[in-house]
Amino acid sequence: MSQQQSRRSFLQTLGLAGLSIPLISAGNCNEQQSKQKSMQNKDGKLGIALVGLGGYAGGQLAPALQQTEHCYLAGIVTGTPSKAIAWKEKYNLPDKNIYNYENYDSIKDNPDIDIIYVVLPNHMHAEYTVRGAKAGKHIICEKPMAITVAECDQMIAACKEAGKQLSIGYRLHFDPYNLEMKRLGQQKVYGDIKKISSGFSFVAQKGIWRLDKKIAGGGPLMDLGVYCLQAVMYTTGMEPVAVTAQTFPISDPDKFKDIEETLAWQMEMPNGLIAECRTSYSESSNFLKAEAEKGWFELQPAFNYSGLKGNTSGGQMDYPRLSQQAKQMDAFALSVKNKQQSIVPGEMGRRDVKIIEAIYEAMKTGKRVTV
């Protein structure tokens, strides 16, 4: 089956067959666009359209957009008519701002929408980012940025050609607990880090798309492992020069047909520090810990949407609860407004996919692989 056929089949499972979410007439559209744009200019917020209305979009992003100061939920792109109706009613969305995957490209004619947030399965990130950029919109793409470095390059090139910004959905760069880990590590509050480790795992249920390599691009490394390698890099302020990796016997061959179930890997940093990481779809872990010359600091849990807990050898971390997603989207809206690069740009997403590719090579060959 070709990649295009695979994508088409996947879209059909989302309910695209025969889908036709109506748009209002051109005359009314122009009139309503003018009214909406006027309102947008008045409050200064940028309009975001969510592409893909799965659990993360509905459970995290849409609620966060009710708390944002610099952007708002302006539109949606979905392959499920029932979702379109429900979202329209819940968030008071106009018909003209509701799209499906077939008329997605016509979003270019809608001035209400400034930013597209791609929240689709991994194998669709590249296509909908490129198409969104060609439609003249700034892009936020969920992690992992894409399945391959080559796809990342296509996405970056498309956004640059269109003169639009590309940001990756790395919400933890806006979380106070993870920012404190970054400060403690990079400013060497407890001296040089001598040991750092991170793990993120959960028990995946059969049937989810993340267990399908064609859709996900891999196993837990593509999903949970991204958090671990990211955390090591923003805590140490360094990028790995080489990696090694080990996988383990599969406990359920039917469930894990062509992806890793559990993976441990080591990242060799420029100063000789070795970071120890582990991810799995059949275990439970969620931590980031650094041991330094004069003390230690850790998060456990480290990567949740809320409820993070931090401790150091000098005392506990304590920060008020906030929406990581709201902070992330507001930061990108400000980057767009101020014509400043996102702090989590496409180039960072590409770097991480490159590291992931090296880890998979190390897993398959059993050798040390340079990044």
Which residue(s) pair with 279 in the sheet? 200, 263
What would the pLDDT profile of 312-333 be if each residue is shown by its tens digit? Answer: 999 999 999 999 999 999 999 9
**Which amino acid, 90?**
K
For 75, phi then psi, to 5°, come to -165, 175
Q: What is the mean pLDDT of residues 166-181?
A: 98
Residues in the chain: 371
What would the pLDDT profile of 17-49 be if each residue is shown by its tens digit? Answer: 333 333 333 334 444 443 444 334 448 899 999
* Cβ–Cβ < 8 Å for 190, 313: yes
Which residues are annotated as catalytic? 143, 227
**Which amino acid, 23?**
L
Helix (H) or strand (E) holding 216: helix 213-216
Dihedral sign for Cα atoms in the order 225, 229, 230, 234:
positive
* Cβ–Cβ < 8 Å for 99, 77: yes
What domains does the chain contain, in order, with CATH numbers? Answer: 3-170 (3.40.50.720), 176-321+346-370 (3.30.360.10)
Bond from prior residue into 301 cis (ω within 30 degrees of 0): yes
CA distances from 156 to 140, 159, 205 (A): 12, 5, 34
Q: What is the mean pLDDT of residues 277-301?
A: 98
What would the pLDDT profile of 113-169 be if each residue is shown by its tens digit? Answer: 999 999 999 999 999 999 999 999 999 999 999 999 999 999 999 999 999 999 999
Q: Please tell me the distance from the alpha carbon of residue 151 to that of residue 130, in angstroms, as a whole number.
A: 10
**CA count, 13 A, side-chain hemisphere, 258:** 9
- 49: number of Cβ within 10 Å: 25
pTM of the model: 0.89
- 9: number of Cβ within 10 Å: 11
* Cβ–Cβ < 8 Å for 163, 341: no
What would the pLDDT profile of 206-230 be if each residue is shown by its tens digit? Answer: 999 999 999 999 999 999 999 999 9
**What would you report as the CA-atom Rg of the chain, rounded to the nearest whole angstrom?**
21
Residue 225 exposed, middle or buried by CB count within 10 Å (0-12, 13-18, 19+): buried
DSSP 3-state assignment of 106?
helix
Per DSSP (E only), the strands in 238-360 are 242-247, 262-268, 274-280, 285-292, 296-299, 310-312, 315-317
State the pLDDT at residue 30.
44
- In this prediction, what percent of the chain has a pLDDT beyond 90? 88
Whether the per-residue pLDDT at 362 is higher than 80: the answer is yes
What would the pLDDT profile of 67-106 be if each residue is shown by its tens digit? Answer: 999 999 999 999 999 999 999 999 999 999 999 999 999 9
Who contacts 40 (Cβ-Cβ below 8 Å, separation ≥6)?
46, 47, 112
